[in-house]
Amino acid sequence: MHDLAPLTPLGAAKPRTDTIGDWTLTEVTDRALASVAARLGREEEAARIVADLLGAEAPAPSRLSGGEIAAFWSGPDQWMIEAPLKTHEALAAQLSARAGGAISVTEQTDAWCRFDLTGPDLPRVLERLCPVDVHRLVGGEAIRTTMEHMGCFLICRTPVHVSILGPRSSAGSLHHALETAMRAAK
Amino acid sequence: MTEVNRVDGGLIDRTRPMRFRFDGKEMTGYQGDTLASALLANGVRLMGRSFKYHRPRGPLTAGSEEPNALVELREGARKEPNTRATTAELFDGLVAQSQNRWPSLAFDALAINDGLAPLFAAGFYYKTFMWPASFWEKLYEPIIRRAAGLGSLSLKDDPDEYDKGFLHCDVLVIGGGPAGLAAALRAGEAGARVILADEDFVIGGRLNAETYEVGGGAGHAWAAEAAGKLAAMPNVRVMPRTTILGAFDHGVYGALERVSDHLPVPPDGKPRQMLWRIYAQRSILAAGATERPVVFDNNDRPGIMLASAMRAYVNRWGAAPARRVAVFTNNDDGHRTAADLAARGVTVAAVIDTRENAPSGTGYEVISGAYVTDTAGRRGLSSIEVRTPDGGSRRIECGALGVSGGWNPNVHLTCHQRGRPTWDESLHAFVPGGTLPPGMSVAGAASGAFSTHAALRSGAEIAGTVLEGLGRRVPAPDLPEAEDAPVNIAPFWVVEGANRAWVDQQNDVTAKDVRLAHQENFVSVEHLKRYTTLGMATDQGKTSNMAGLAIMAQVAGKNIADVGTTMFRPPYTPTAIGAFAGRSRGKDFRPVRKTPSHKWAEEQGAPFVEVGMWLRAQYFPQPGETQWRQSVDREALAVRNSVGICDVTTLGKVDVQGADAAEFLNRIYANGFAKLAVGKTRYGLMLREDGIAMDDGTAARLAEDHFVVTTTTANAVPVYRHMEFVRQCLYPDMDVQLISTTEAWAQFAVAGPNSRKLLQKIVDPDFDLSNEGFPFMACGEVTVCGGLRARLFRISFSGELAFEIAVPTRYGDALVRRLMQAGEEFGAVPYGTEALGVLRIEKGHAAGSELNGTITAHNLGMGKMVSKKKDSIGSTLSEREGLNTPDALKLVGLKALDAGSPVPAGAHLMTRGSAVDAAHDQGYVTSACYSPNLGCHIGLAFLKSGDERTGERVRLVSPLTGIDHEVEVVSPHFVDPEGGRLRA
């Protein structure tokens, strides 16, 4: 076991939590991520591999599915897989090993920072951040969008819980944008 | 001062008095007042000075179309010039200053301009300030700006914040008058998602300014009830204080919400204003209509205003502009003003109606077939001159005159996509016509439906049509009863013979100016606008354009319809630049990207340089170093002599997988990749389709079907975009998958003769780092520090024995600390972008400065790399004759002849003894630095036939820095040209 200590995207030892009004913003660092893309001609096989992993259909465009292990759509025949980091730090290697060459897998765990926003009436905050029709979100959506010039995924887990994945190197800017929107919407 | 002209009634809250100051004088108004209504109630008619002639002016209107009553609102950094007093909501403690006057509003020294008016006719700038040309910027313009103008800026940073947001709806209703309310109610009740936006702070439009009944009760009460009903619907969003600024492509509307302008200071965290982008499937424009004035001599005195504004002040705000008033009209609507004011105890001296058959009034005299010829009163109206039908003249004493020349539908938004309105002969006005923005319908007065009943009905009917178009079932409308007076108007634009009669009060354009422009052949309406400035500035001619067109038509002998209108463009009303900027200002202008070692570098006191959005450590100063060069020289020497560590995470990394990955890279890169062995890395050069070099980097083959491509920092995104384009559009039949992994891995260069020894302490012992076990250009997956997965590459940008090591980003901070600790015995140093630059210039590696968008592989001396054994992007066009001439630019090294003389980047190479001009240009310096290893300044340059000129002395010229001296042409590989060190 190595002895290097990780830093969170915001540059601290522990994830950060902020509460503004009725909303809580939490930096999430305990999830592993891997991208999965179907090899040419093996699209159906790829979708089956994802479905087997989730115990549910591979998500359709702009959708999220699964539970503890979840996946969201990221492009035609492409998905991002989420799993607990504790048990799946080697998620990409684990997926690759069981794929039989039907998919290309790439580790994405540290490519993203993730902030979870929870609380009532989330569209009031989100409508200040991205052009998504956020008042229509009911849970299960995963939408590629931009927030303050940063390419992000907006993942609606339930109407009172969304995750925002953004570029890890811009975690500070994204966090600032989210906090600012929360204060303005309060 | 007391509220001498406050009358009973109105929608103000008299239980909430508010104190405010205008030009230092303290006054009182009420919640619900605007600054203009409060000033009028306090007996103040004079609110500003005009643009050019400094004539005293008061409000012409009671809304956003106001040309005259512009003030500097608030103080200090929050001072905002050119704010319309007619829309500024009163708050307790409000402070306003009049503008464009000196020393005071009542006595303005520059009012002398009014006496000199003959000098300032249309086009006087163009005629007067022609000679000498050099005087314009330094003399004429500053004088004009001081004398003629609007308010002044605070010249301080705006302390407020502005937000942006995004909304979606089925139906956007623009305007909350009777038509807008009826439309929104019907759409809301049908279950559509509706946004109702109105620029006013009270929803209701003209219903708040009129005395009509709607549904058997007061019109304003019906409006308030309707707005309440809408606000209670979960599918409806009611947005007061929100102006729809423009109709843009694809059903997108811009909207400015004045979130905190009615408060002394925005609440903590809240923006002052918010710019919304509204995505609407359909829109219903119910923006109402604007009354138009009549042009007669001296029609601009404070107290002269639109008749509809006069009754709005009395009905809505309980503020009479004077105790004795008159009305001048060409239509029935003017008579309403007289009736409403008389009913509130204001004396109506007379109604002057241009029509022979004017209706009679109760309690005041109506003079039919008459018109106003002139007015008197120095700082405010005291009397008017009336020409009676018998040819006689009558003077009528009054403190205010309401003028009504008819109504213009607010067609502006219908024209934002180049549509043109059409002329309606019965209304004598332009109405929406031609091609409207897709999805837009028009209702109410904006469509020419002027009565309250017609507005309500058209709002409901249009909503019905729109909803059916959206596939919704629509219940029958339930319309309240309302007045339905017909439009009864006889066109009357300008009193015959009027000269000093104001057409555009904001720009001081008179009837005479318009005629003069025509006489001087500015006959197109667009030329008239530019020559006279008619219709420019903050009000965009909302009250003046029609009169200007009418005079044009008269002198040209045309119909108004044939004269046409100028273009209508967004924004509908003036909008603060801050609202367009939003949060993108100062340090928040753009997001920043931080490297994994950022925190550690900060602790080392490193200054950062912006590279794209990245912040990269520039150098790491040590105690005693007083100047950046000392740090950079030390770092560069340490790398050559022992070992240095640099964060190179910012280089783009693209994961390329698939059965055709190697063939894909063969197409992307000019040089061959198909035969690259697994576990090896190769330098690659990418060309654009036109044969120009796009980017360079390395590709490491981790498996038969798996590569990692690196790009330069600046081109990480463009290269990835290019690769996706090639994958999706050029070779969709290839089995290749791409994803960026730039952010996923923290990558550090470990460079210098001791780099292997240092890494052997970090990389787990199972991995052989010897020259045989891990030779130059090797790559592979390893573990470090007891089992952490990592990637190791033996590549070198510095020319030394060097490696790059990558770990998951979260461990980047720990790894750099561990490397520094383990490197202590070797004197390891961190190095920044400056030393990185020095090392690569010494080695002759091209970078962004060389790949400048004009350079080919041939110029770089890499022409042979463009493989002809295969096809690749750019290969064919790189063969173009013009790119391959014998005297083509070639990359060379330049060396100063003595230690002190500089080689500045950007300097040009010139023929000896020639003039310094393009004809004698031999090339230019792209990169330059002081080389601590060579002890002099060096540079990389492109020089004509440079590869054949080694040893030659060339002339280096930099006129900007006053440099003109000789340098020596050398190989661009200043250090270790054979490459022995990096293979050690």
Residue B579 lies in a domain: no
* Mean local confidence (pLDDT), B523-534: 92
**Residue A127 and residue B167: Cβ atoms within 8 Å?**
yes
Of all residues in chain A, the one with the smallest CA distance to B235 is A135
Select from B269, B598, B786 the Cβ nearest to the Cβ of A11: B598
* Integer Cα distance of A166 and A174 in angstroms: 7
Model pLDDT, residue B105: 86
Beta-strand ranges (E) seen in chain A are: 17-20, 23-28, 31-38, 64-66, 70-75, 78-84, 103-107, 112-118, 141-147, 150-158, 161-167
Query: Both B748 and B644 in a single domain?
Result: yes
Q: Kindly state whether residues B534 and B675 are assigned to the same domain.
A: no
Q: Which residue does chain B place closest to A80, by CA atoms?
A: B739
The predicted pLDDT at position B123 comes to 76
Buried b (16+ CB within 10 A) or exposed e, B214-251: bbeebbbebbbebbebbeebebbbbbbbbbbbbbeeeb
- The whole-angstrom distance between B461's CA and the closest CA on chain A is 28
User: Identical fold at A20-29+111-185 and A31-109?
Assistant: no
**Contact at CB, B812 and A39, closer than 8 angstroms:** no
Where along chain A do its domains lie?
A: 20-29+111-185, 31-109
- Joined tokens for residue B61: 């209107």
Mutate which: B274, B594, B816, vs A, most A CBs within 10 A: B594
Q: Report the gap between the CA of A54 and the closest CA in chain B (Å).
A: 22
Indicate the number of domains in chain B: 7
**Which residues does residue A152 pair with via DSSP β-bridges, in sequence order?**
A145
pLDDT tier at B149, thresholds 50, 70, 90: low
Examine the domain organization and report whether B394 and B327 are in the same domain: yes
Q: Which of residues 29-68 of A touch B (CB under 8 A)?
A: 29, 35, 37-41
Q: Are residues B302 and B283 in the same domain?
A: no
Contact B592 A136 (CB under 8 A): no
A-B C-beta contacts closer than 8 Å: 148
CATH value at residue B557:
1.10.10.1100
**Residue B187 and residue B467: Cα distance in Å, rounded?**
7
| A15 touches B: beta carbon within 8 Å | no
What local confidence, expressed as pLDDT, does residue B972 receive? 97
Cβ-defined contact of A2 to B591 (cutoff 8 Å): no
Q: Are strands B304-306 and B400-404 parallel, antiparallel or unpaired?
A: parallel
Closest residue to B743, CB basis, from A4, A38, A168:
A168
Which 8-state DSSP code applies to residue B727?
Answer: I
pLDDT at residue B2 in the model: 78
Q: Are residues B544 and B626 in the same domain?
A: no
Residues B301 and B397 in one domain: yes
Domain match, B765 and B641 both: yes
Q: Domain A20-29+111-185 is classified in which CATH homologous superfamily? A: Probable tRNA modification gtpase trme; domain 1 (3.30.1360.120)
Q: Are residues B177 and B247 in the same domain?
A: yes
Place of tokens 């508010």: B18
Residue B33: what pLDDT?
Answer: 98
Whether B110 and B200 map to the same domain: the answer is no
Judge whether residue A110 has pLDDT over 60: yes
- Shortest distance between the Cα of B808 and any Cα of chain A, in A, equals 6
| Chain CA centroid to CA A52, Å | 20
Question: Rounded distance, CA B193 to CA B171, Å?
Answer: 6
Which residues of chain B does A1 touch, with a Cβ-Cβ cutoff of 8 Å? 786-787
* pLDDT value, residue B100: 83
Whether residues B705 and B760 fall in one domain: no
> Are A110 and B809 within 8 A, CB to CB?
yes
Mean pLDDT over residues B787-808, rounded? 97
Task: Give A 108-147 residues with CB within 8 A of chain B.
Answer: 108-112, 127-128, 130-133, 135-136
pLDDT in tens, B623-648: 999 999 999 999 999 999 999 999 99
Lowest mean per-residue pLDDT among A64-73, B117-126, B395-404: B117-126
B147-172 mean pLDDT: 91
Q: pLDDT digits over B334-391, tens only?
A: 999 999 999 999 999 999 999 999 999 999 999 999 999 999 999 999 999 999 999 9
Grouping H, G, I as helix, E, B as strand and the rest as coil, residue B549 is: helix
Nearest to B591 among A110, A173, A184 (CB): A173
The pairing of strands B407-409 and B289-291 is antiparallel
- In this predicted structure, what is the pLDDT of residue B937? 97
Distance CA(B878)–CA(B864), nearest Å, equals 12
Phi, psi of B928 (to 5 degrees): -155, 155
Q: Given 3-state DSSP classes, what are the helix, strand and coil percentages for chain A, each rounded to the nearest 5? A: 25, 40, 35
pTM over 0.90: yes
Task: Classify B778 as helix, strand or coil.
Answer: strand
pLDDT-derived band of residue B148, with 50, 70 and 90 as boundaries? low
Residue-level pLDDT at B138: 78
CA-based nearest residue in chain A for residue B168: A133
Which stretches of B126-203 are assigned E, i.e. beta strand? 162-174, 194-197
- Residue B134 in any domain: the answer is no
Tell which of A28, A42, A106 to mutate to test the B interface (max B CBs under 10 Å).
A106
Is the CB of A169 less than 8 angstroms away from the CB of B743? yes
The reply to whether CATH 3.30.70.1520 applies to domain A31-109 is: yes
Contact residues on chain A for B166, CB-CB shorter than 8 A: 127-128, 130-132
* Same domain as B750, residue B735: no
CB contact at 8 A, B768 and B830: no
Choose the mutation target among B253, B728, B737, B738 for the interface with A, i.e. most A CBs under 10 Å: B737
Alpha-carbon distance of B830 to B605, in angstroms, equals 12
* pLDDT for the residue numbered B888: 96
Helix (H, G, I), strand (E, B) or coil at A50: helix
Residue from B172, B708, B736, B809 to probe the interface with A (highest A Cβ count within 10 Å): B809
Residue B1 reports pLDDT greater than 70: no
Task: List pLDDT tens digits, range B31-83.
Answer: 999 999 999 999 999 999 998 899 999 999 999 999 999 999 999 999 999 99
**What domain range includes position B724?**
652-740
- pLDDT band at B899, cuts 50/70/90? confident
> Same structural domain for residues B171 and B279?
yes
Nearest Cα of chain B lies from the Cα of A147 at a distance, in angstroms, of 10
Res B211: pLDDT: 96
Confidence class of residue B241 from pLDDT cuts 50, 70 and 90? very high
Q: Do A110 and B743 touch (CB under 8 A)?
A: yes
* Contact across the interface for A184 and B163, Cβ inside 8 Å: yes
Per-residue CA distances from B828 to A50, B842, B976 (Å): 47, 20, 22
Can the peptide bond before residue B932 be classed as cis, meaning omega within 30 degrees of 0? no
Residue A57 predicted with pLDDT over 90: yes
- Residue B137 pLDDT > 80, yes or no? no
From CA B855, how far away is CA A54, in angstroms rounded?
A: 51
Select from B686, B715, B740 the last residue of a domain: B740
Residues of A in contact with B818 (CB under 8 A): 4
List of chain A residues whose C-beta atoms are within 8 Å of the C-beta of residue B808: 107, 109-110
- B784–A104: do the CB atoms touch at under 8 Å? no
B850 within a domain of the structure (yes/no):
no
